[in-house]
């Protein structure tokens, strides 16, 4: 402790300590002089003798100072001063280098922030490594991440021994209707089992969370509010617990408020209700209705592998009990965080790798420029070495200089990253956990690490390239104007080749993703998409109890909307094309022989009203469309799509055949079935998936209370949003709509990540191409400057200027071509890693590879032509006179 | 000129500590004292003495203060700390062992 104090004192009062040392030594000296005089010497003689025994006072002072252990700091400060001064002497170079590093580091820090916050940062729950997400799976590997059926969950919960707890959650929307003049509002909510909160270790800040007695059928409805909703809608009312609020026009008792920090599974969740109270007990007991998210807490010491094995064996038995329905035969477990973000992993890591490449290219480029500078300082270096400067000191100086560059770049980069991250959150609202993305301590540490690594890399390459073994040669060499030593040049060519290689990898990856994106956007999904306005409507259970009420509402809605000026068609359906795969059900065909035991047919389930196909311009191929008065109860007809026919009725006429399907558990088994009355063209569920066999059921059967309204218009669709909402309010003023979007927006949204990845990677690739071009230009200019004399001699001896130009061009292009070949090989490997992000594009796509090679060569030739041309213009007389 | 190797490696520290164990002294007096006690055989060079003093101070074995010297000038006086006293004991024991061992070798061989 005292030692430390002493050291610190020495650090901060070095100046005074230096004076004191001087005094101390002077005192010693004077004593010696005095003694010498006492021994009979003259004053001058005594002084000389004293000095003789004393030695070199400066060296002595230095040696004493050495023991203060702050020597390194003084050296560092000195190097720092030198470094900054040297950078200041070439402000353009320094500014450019700092800018390049800032871009490189900024991009990396931004991506790291996202990767760290989204993929790596643990959820804020105690022992979160025991928390897992549970899925049903197919033992043949057809799919691994299927959501759970209620009956399956019950079996797992009662039989599995690997888990402390298992809980369910299921996203849902509620109409929170206005009490006392408040506007109605659609809120995003979760229904959960009562043990959801205890399992995560979350407690209410007011009131309580659910008890087992709340989480069952027939008890009073209860709700727990998020901290956000409580503050926003209820003004932080301290007496909220015990009050009743209306959800879907039914009363719910508020029993608690949750802490603000709770953002699992999503920060958008506004309120929570108990799942067994909300959902029908029949559905919750079925093994075939897959629609619940299950999470679990493993017992301490149980691994995911063990737990999966146990669930697998339970699920196999369930499958044996139900060999017919869509019941899975295996299970899959992921860490809880993985369950939310695994789809993002490849994309984010690919982007992160791309920024890494970009930074490496930036470092190589600056190292390359510094090598050139080191070469111009060879004479200085040699002189210093000859005078006894140690190599370590010289390297230290060089590294300090590059560290200054990288630190300046890093600080600016961190600021850039901060705004980049903000832009990214805005641009990618589909990223889960987006609210947790921010620059934190870990990110700062990462930035510091990157700065230091870059500084060392950038500094060590040129420092080690200046070899001091041949001081004499260098001293002689640099007296003449030719030959810069070949080691440095080889190194620069190598760096350049590497840089070009990395650029090629980025270019091809960007090319593949761009092609994927254009392929996706070129897909015709098979329905009208322009000028279509959509909005979701969710009829509250409380006020729309019977199918008749539901149907009458939607019929009146369609009529009103159709009468609005500019409307060309309006329809209501459970799903629209391009919205993604939402639901499928099993069926069988009455006219076909029974399937082997354990096999089922499966098709997507759409409920559509009679105007669906006309409004969305999906052509009818055979038969007829639904009639306006068609209801499931009296005309049991369905429509199927073309894929359905080609898959299940090869070479047969599907019209008049009957499907035994049970989308709502309302048909008796063995009944007459539903007659196929029409066949329409395919409309894709999502742009990236092939059309799926689909059965269209009449929406006017009244079983579905939620639907999406689609309105095709003659004018800008968004201009109709207000009139349509007014039409809805005129029928039911307490009804709120959600997700008012145009169909083009829905499609944009589904290709958002593809467009985002492609654009970002393309930007990175262009930047690195620019850097590579600058590198090529710099290296060739340098080579030519070094060889001016040689070129002069060649021309004087009769070489043609074209020959000289070709020679120089070849010299410059060689590293580019080597880099291109290496880069193309590496690209093939990189493309395989991002294969899952590609659509309609093979990883080794000849078109992309050829285009990239051509672009790169064109840029390389362009970058080399100017210096090569300059070389061919060399005036031999002048070149030789420079000697 | 005075390089530390003039004295057996490491013994200068011991000599300084020993000298200071009696009373506090300034650098000049330490050098004189060692010279005198060794019968003028050990000449401590300033080039060794001052770095050694500063090192010992950094180690916390001796501490320094400025005071008036016998001639009336300000001089830096060094004195032993508790840790230094312990270090002196350790080094003395060490030295005794070492010199005995060397003696054994020199006599027998």
Q: What is the pLDDT of residues A808-819, one digit of tens each?
A: 888 888 888 999
User: What pLDDT, on a 0 to 100 scale, did the predictor assign at position A178?
Assistant: 64
A362, A503 in Cβ contact below 8 A?
no
Does residue A135 belong to any structural domain of this protein?
no
CB spacing of A64 vs B46 below 8 angstroms: no
Q: For A220, which DSSP code?
A: P
Neighbours of A749 (CB within 10 A): 15
Average pLDDT over chain A, rounded to whole? 84
Give tens-digit pLDDT for A688-698: 888 899 999 88
Interacting residues of A729 by C-beta distance below 8 A, sequence separation 6+: A735
- For the stretch A558-592, what's the b/e string if a residue is b when 16 or more beta carbons lie within 10 angstroms of its beta carbon? bebbbeeeebbbbbbbbbbbbbeeeebbbbbbeee
Interface residues of A toward B, Cβ cutoff 8 Å, are 2-3, 6-7, 10, 20-21, 23-25, 27-28, 30-32, 34, 53-55, 59-60, 63-64, 66-69
User: What pLDDT, on a 0 to 100 scale, did the predictor assign at position A486?
Assistant: 60
Is A427 found in the same domain as A403? yes
* Mean pLDDT to the nearest integer, A577-598: 81
User: What pLDDT, on a 0 to 100 scale, did the predictor assign at position A77?
Assistant: 83
Is A706 found in the same domain as A629? yes
Q: For A122, which DSSP code?
A: P
Does residue A128 belong to any structural domain of this protein?
no
Is A513 found in the same domain as A436? no
Does residue A140 belong to any structural domain of this protein?
no
| In chain B, % of residues over pLDDT 90 | 5
* Mean pLDDT to the nearest integer, A197-216: 92
The CATH number for B7-108, chosen from 3.60.15.10, 1.10.10.10, 2.60.120.20, 1.10.1740.10, is: 1.10.10.10
User: What pLDDT, on a 0 to 100 scale, did the predictor assign at position B1?
Assistant: 34
Is A437 found in the same domain as A403? yes
Residues in chain B, overall count: 109
CA atoms within 13 A on the CB side of B53: 30
Range of the domain at A43: 2-69
Is A361 found in the same domain as A285? no
SS (H, E, C) A669-689: CCCCCEEEEEEECCCCCCCCC
Select, from the ranges A561-570, A593-602, A781-790, the one with the highest average predicted confidence (pLDDT): A561-570
Better-predicted residue by pLDDT, A190 or A494: A190
Domain ranges in chain B are: 7-108
pLDDT at B4 over 50: no
User: What pLDDT, on a 0 to 100 scale, did the predictor assign at position A476?
Assistant: 61
Is A302 found in the same domain as A399? no
Better-predicted residue by pLDDT, A407 or B41: A407
Does residue A571 belong to any structural domain of this protein?
yes
Does residue A508 belong to any structural domain of this protein?
yes
- When CB atoms are compared, the residue of B46, B74, B75 closest to A54 is B46
Residue A802 parent element (H or E): helix A801-833
Residues of chain B neighbouring A1 (CB-CB closer than 8 A)? none
Give tens-digit pLDDT for A286-340: 888 888 999 999 999 999 999 999 999 999 998 888 877 778 888 999 999 888 8
* Mean pLDDT to the nearest integer, A571-595: 85
Q: What whole-number distance in Å separates Cα of residue A736 and Cα of residue A119?
A: 35
Beta strands in A73-212 (DSSP E): 131-137, 148-149, 163-176, 185-192, 206-207
pLDDT at B9 over 70: no
- When CB atoms are compared, the residue of B55, B60, B73 closest to A27 is B73
Give tens-digit pLDDT for B22-66: 888 888 888 888 888 888 888 887 778 888 888 888 888 888 888
- For the stretch A233-270, what's the b/e string if a residue is b when 16 or more beta carbons lie within 10 angstroms of its beta carbon? bbeeeeebbeeebbbbbbebebbbbbeeebbbbebebb
If one counts the domains in chain A, the total is: 5
| In chain A, % of residues over pLDDT 70 | 91
Does residue A133 belong to any structural domain of this protein?
no
Is A881 found in the same domain as A758? yes
Residues of chain B neighbouring A69 (CB-CB closer than 8 A)? 58
Is A85 found in the same domain as A57? no
Is A720 found in the same domain as A587? yes
Strands A271-274 and A185-192: parallel
CB spacing of B28 vs A31 below 8 angstroms: yes
Is A65 found in the same domain as A84? no
Q: ipTM surpassing 0.90, yes or no?
A: no
Is A439 found in the same domain as A322? no
pLDDT at B2 over 60: no
pLDDT at B108 over 50: yes
Interface residues of B toward A, Cβ cutoff 8 Å, are 1-2, 26-28, 31, 45-47, 50-51, 53-55, 57-60, 66, 69, 71, 73-76
Does residue A248 belong to any structural domain of this protein?
yes
Give tens-digit pLDDT for A747-760: 888 888 888 888 88
Sign of the C-alpha dihedral computed for residues A788, A794, A796 and A801 taken in this order: negative
Mutate to test the interface with B, among A1, A8, A28, A62 (most CBs of B within 10 A): A28
Is A187 found in the same domain as A53? no
């Amino acid at each position: 402790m005292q030692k430390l104090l002493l050291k610190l004192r020495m650090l901060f009062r070095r100046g005074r300590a230096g004076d004191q040392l001087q005094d101390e030594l002077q005192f010693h000296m004077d004593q010696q002089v005095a003694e010498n005089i006492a021994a009979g010497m003259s004053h001058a003689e005594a002084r000389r003798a004293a000095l003789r025994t004393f030695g070199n006072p400066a060296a002595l002072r230095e040696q004493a100072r050495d023991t203060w252990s702050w020597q390194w700091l003084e050296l560092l400060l000195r190097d720092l001063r030198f470094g900054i001064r040297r950078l200041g002497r070439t402000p353009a170079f320094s500014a450019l280098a700092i800018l390049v590093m800032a871009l490189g580091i900024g991009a990396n820090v931004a991506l790291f922030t996202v990767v760290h916050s989204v993929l790596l940062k643990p959820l804020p729950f105690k022992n979160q490594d025991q928390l897992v997400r549970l899925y049903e799976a197919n033992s043949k590997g057809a799919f691994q991440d299927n959501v759970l059926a209620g009956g399956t969950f019950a079996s797992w919960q009662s039989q599995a021994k690997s888990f402390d707890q298992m809980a369910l959650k299921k996203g849902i929307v509620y109409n929170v209707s206005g009490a006392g003049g408040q506007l109605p509002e659609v809120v995003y909510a979760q229904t959960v089992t009562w043990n959801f909160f205890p399992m995560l270790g979350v407690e209410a800040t007011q009131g309580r969370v659910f008890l087992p007695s709340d989480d069952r059928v027939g008890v009073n409805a209860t709700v727990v509010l998020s901290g956000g909703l409580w503050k926003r809608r209820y003004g932080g009312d301290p007496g909220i617990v015990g009050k009743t609020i209306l959800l879907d026009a039914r009363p719910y008792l508020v029993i608690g408020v949750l802490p603000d920090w709770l953002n699992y599974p999503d920060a958008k969740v506004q309120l929570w209700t108990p799942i067994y109270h909300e959902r029908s007990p029949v559905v919750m007991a079925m093994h075939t209705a897959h629609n619940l998210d299950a999470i679990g807490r493993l017992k301490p010491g149980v691994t995911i592998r063990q737990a999966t094995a146990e669930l697998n064996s339970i699920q196999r038995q369930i499958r044996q009990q139900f060999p017919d329905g869509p019941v899975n035969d295996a299970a899959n477990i992921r860490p809880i965080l993985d369950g939310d973000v695994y789809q993002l992993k490849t994309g984010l890591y690919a982007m992160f790798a791309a920024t890494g490449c970009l930074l490496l290219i930036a470092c190589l480029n600056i190292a390359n420029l510094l090598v050139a500078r080191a070469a111009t300082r060879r004479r200085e270096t040699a002189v210093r070495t000859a005078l006894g400067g140690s190599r370590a000191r010289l390297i230290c100086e060089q590294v300090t200089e590059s560290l200054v560059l990288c630190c300046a770049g890093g600080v600016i980069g961190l600021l850039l990253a901060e705004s980049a991250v903000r832009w990214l959150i805005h641009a990618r609202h589909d990223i889960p956990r987006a609210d947790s993305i921010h620059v934190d301590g870990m990110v700062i540490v990462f930035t510091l690490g990157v700065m230091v690594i870059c500084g060392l890399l950038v500094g060590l390459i040129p420092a080690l390239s200046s070899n001091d073994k041949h001081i004499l040669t260098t001293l002689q060499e640099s007296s003449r104007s030719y030959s810069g030593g070949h080691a440095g040049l080889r190194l620069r060519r190598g760096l350049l080749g590497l840089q070009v290689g990395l650029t090629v990898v980025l270019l091809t990856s960007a090319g593949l993703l761009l092609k994927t994106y254009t392929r996706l956007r070129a897909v015709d999904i098979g329905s009208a998409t322009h000028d279509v306005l959509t909005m979701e409507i969710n009829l509250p259970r409380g006020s729309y109890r019977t199918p008749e009420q539901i149907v009458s509402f939607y019929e009146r809605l369609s009529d009103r909307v159709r009468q609005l000026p500019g409307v060309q068609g309006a329809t209501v359906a459970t799903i629209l094309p391009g919205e993604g795969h939402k639901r499928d059900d099993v069926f069988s065909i009455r006219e076909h022989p029974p399937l082997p035991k354990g096999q089922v047919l499966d098709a997507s389930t759409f409920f559509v009203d009679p105007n669906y196909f006309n409004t969305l311009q999906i052509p009818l191929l055979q038969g007829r469309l639904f009639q306006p008065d068609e209801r499931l109860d009296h005309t049991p007809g369905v429509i199927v799509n073309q894929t359905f026919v080609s898959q299940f009725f090869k070479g047969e006429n599907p019209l008049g055949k009957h499907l035994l399907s049970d989308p709502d558990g309302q048909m008796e088994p063995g009944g007459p079935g539903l007659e196929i009355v029409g066949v329409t063209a395919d409309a894709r569920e999502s742009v990236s998936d092939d059309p799926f066999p689909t059965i269209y059921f009449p929406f006017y059967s009244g079983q579905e209370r939620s639907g999406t309204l689609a309105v095709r218009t003659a004018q800008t669709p968004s201009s109709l949003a207000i009139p349509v909402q007014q039409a809805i309010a005129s029928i039911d003023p307490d009804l709120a709509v959600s997700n008012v979007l145009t169909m083009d927006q829905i499609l944009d949204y589904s290709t958002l990540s593809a467009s985002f990845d492609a654009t970002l990677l393309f930007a990175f690739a262009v930047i690195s191409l620019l850097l590579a071009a600058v590198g090529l230009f710099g290296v060739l200019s340098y080579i030519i400057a070094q060889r001016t004399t040689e070129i002069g001699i060649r021309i004087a001896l009769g070489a043609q200027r074209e020959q000289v130009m070709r020679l120089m061009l070849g010299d410059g292009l060689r590293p580019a071509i080597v880099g291109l070949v290496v880069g193309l090989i590496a690209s093939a490997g990189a493309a395989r890693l991002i294969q899952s992000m590609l659509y309609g594009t093979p990883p080794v796509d000849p078109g992309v590879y050829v285009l990239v090679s051509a672009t790169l060569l064109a840029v390389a030739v362009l970058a080399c032509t100017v210096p090569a041309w300059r070389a061919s213009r060399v005036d031999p007389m002048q070149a030789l006179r420079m000697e | 000129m005075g390089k530390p190797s003039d004295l057996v490696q490491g013994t200068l520290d011991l000599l300084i500590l020993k000298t200071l164990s009696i009373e506090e002294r300034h650098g000049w007096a330490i050098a004189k004292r060692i010279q005198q006690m060794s019968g003028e055989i050990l000449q401590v060079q300033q080039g060794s003495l001052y770095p050694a003093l500063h090192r010992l101070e950094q180690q916390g074995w001796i501490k320094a203060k400025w005071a008036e010297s016998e001639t009336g000038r300000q001089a830096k006086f060094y004195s032993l700390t508790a840790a230094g006293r312990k270090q002196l004991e350790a080094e003395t024991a060490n030295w005794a062992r070492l010199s005995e061992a060397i003696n054994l070798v020199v006599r027998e061989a």
